[in-house]
Amino acid sequence: MTTLITGGAKCGKSRLAEKLLDNCRGRKLYIATMKPFGEEAFAAIERHRKIRAGKGFETIEKYTGLDEIQISGKSHILLECIANLCANEMFENEKICDPTEHIIRGIEHLRKRAETIVIVTNNVGSDGVDYGSETNKYIEVMGRVNALITGISDNVAECVYGVPVVLKGRLEI
């Protein structure tokens, strides 16, 4: 079962994603994609660690290359977040690349090894602001990646002010 959770910044996506895995029995993995740099990133990482505390998650920090993660047995996975993963993949080298296929291949790799996977992403590009060419390329790639993940997901929900709005399938909370 694959579920995609999207929404704006600090709208409750993480809490919803974790809640969807609350009743799962077995190994629960939290795949963290945010590179820890700068005060804001460290604060966000600490906030997420506190939210997950006591919920039985093992954390795997993996900033690129999801297809390199080795998981034995069926697991329940929370992958957070596609926006960070995409930026990491796109801007890892001096040359900007389109990581769409690599990200989708990584998600498919995890889906084969997971009983449940909940993927958190961000709703980018809806603010109507015209950015520089690199940011516009990132927004374009994120739109494509999110659309492809939506296509392979059983359930899709947008979190709006902490309330899940189901766009595809259904959520069992």
Beta-bridge partner residues of 166: 157
Report the domain count for the chain.
1
117 within domain boundaries: yes
135 within domain boundaries: yes
CATH number, domain of 10, equals 3.40.50.300
Note whether 3 and 152 are within 8 A (CB): no
Starting at the earlier edge strand, list the strands of the sheet with 2-7.
57-61, 28-32, 75-80, 114-120, 2-7, 155-160, 163-168
Q: Among residues of the chain, what percentage have pLDDT more than 90? A: 66
- The pLDDT tens digits for 18-76 are 999 998 999 999 999 988 888 887 887 788 788 777 888 999 999 999 999 998 778 99
Domain with 9, as residue range(s), is 2-168
Answer yes or no: is pLDDT of 93 > 80. Answer: no
pLDDT in the model for residue 51: 78
- The pLDDT tens digits for 101-152 are 999 999 999 999 999 999 999 998 777 677 888 999 999 999 999 999 999 9
